[in-house]
Amino acid sequence: MSMTIDLTDTEPMPEIKHESLINISSWFGKTPLINASGCLCATNKMLDELKTGDPAGICTKSCTLEPRPGNPEPRYWEHEEGMMTLNSMGLPNLGVDYYLDYFKTRDNEYDGWRCMSLAVLGPMEDTYQMLAKIIRPGVPVDAIEFNLSCPNLEGKEILAYDKPALKKILADLEAECQFLIARAHAKAYESDIDANGSYTPPQFGIKLPPYWQLQDYREIAKMINPMMFSFIHTINSVPNALVIDADREETVIHPKQGFGGLGGEIIKPIALANVRGFYLAFQELGHPWKKIKIIGCGGVSHGQDVFEMILAGADAVSVGSQLMIEGAGCIARINEELIEILRRKGYHSLDEFRGRLKVCAAATN
Ligand code: SIN
């Protein structure tokens, strides 16, 4: 027996908008975008403003145990057409308690990823004290990022460039975090502060400087792969760049003889190389499932930059200089541009092309 359906009698099919099939979520939220620590995140007001751009998460300015004034002004410069920035801020911040207070009190409606960036500048005891404030039941922090790559500290080299020292610091941080997590579990169990008496620790990540040799990616990936870290954030600004005002015959910023961290569109190829380098290095280690996520940072100002970062292997992407240049609204614009690129290319999610960068074929004569 055959059954026929009278199509004239059925409701018209609702039109499915192509965009509604496009999913740009990332492992930490509804989009791949977060701010790079340092940009629009030093005060409550800035953090509130940042959220108006609707990023999937927010990250605080890298903080220290006590408030810090940072380097003398002028310490930030922007190219007039927005293609680059130079900074030597020197980690000015309002102290760990200020940012914790923001997450605990001012921000309690926020449903995005909350990341606290901790500046690791020694003494380590300071970092441990900051961790002890965060790793406890009831503290609404989803991730802790250790900043080991600030290029702007007078008289100090970039920590993450000294590999033996980096290894020791990461091992010490891991041991301390594990101790604090065990303590938090016990406290949650005793006091029932967190729902059903269990404690969920934050994710831990590392903000890295740009590396230059392919061997560097392999060595760092091998170092951190067995550790507790669940993400790397690459790259911080390109260190010790110099911009000259030829009319005045002087540097454009004051600290460190005018040397500072370079950011903006101009550094994108270096950032892409670091994302790709780490993606391939982790793959070589036999972790194609990506135990350690990669947040790509550097020169992201358009949807196409995010597309390229993900194609190179990034799991998420951060926006730095463009937030300073354009304000929080750039996040929504970049997301829209990204959706438009996926629509044009026929992709439905970021997973469909993540890491799938092809090497162009060799020329034949
Ligand atoms: C700074 O405060 O100097 C910038 C932060 C950083 O580059 O890590």
Q: What is the pLDDT of residue 126?
A: 98
Q: How confident is the model at residue 2 (pLDDT cuts 50, 70, 90)?
A: very low
Q: What is the pLDDT of residue 12?
A: 53
Number of DSSP helices (H) and strands (E) in the chain, helices first: 9, 14
Q: What is the pLDDT of residue 8?
A: 46
Query: What's the CA gap between 21 and 323, in Å, rounded?
Result: 28
Residue owning the nearest CA to atom 8 of ligand 1: 150
Token reading at 277:
């380098």
Q: Write the CB contacts of 164 (distance below 8 Å, at least 6 apart in sequence).
A: none
Looking at the CA of residue 236, tell me the nearest atom of ligand 1. 7
Q: Using one digit for the tens of pLDDT, what is the confidence trace for 210-233?
A: 999 999 999 999 999 999 999 999
Residue owning the nearest CA to atom 7 of ligand 1: 150
CA of 150 to the centre of ligand 1 (A): 5
The radius of gyration of the chain's CA atoms, rounded to the nearest angstrom, is: 22
* Termini Cα distance of the chain: 65
Is 41 tagged catalytic? no
Looking at the CA of residue 237, tell me the nearest atom of ligand 1. 7
- State pTM to two decimals: 0.93
274 pLDDT above the threshold of 90? yes
Query: What's the CA gap between 116 and 99, in Å, rounded?
Result: 8
The catalytic residue among 150, 177, 297, 330 is: 150
- Least confident among 121-125, 150-154, 194-198, 201-205: 194-198
CA of 88 to the centre of ligand 1 (A): 7
CA of 102 to the centre of ligand 1 (A): 21
Q: How confident is the model at residue 347 (pLDDT cuts 50, 70, 90)?
A: very high
Residue owning the nearest CA to atom 2 of ligand 1: 91
CA of 288 to the centre of ligand 1 (A): 32
Q: What is the pLDDT of residue 106?
A: 87
Which one of 121, 152, 254 would you pick to mutate in the ligand 1 pocket, going by the greatest count of ligand atoms within 8 A of its CB? 152
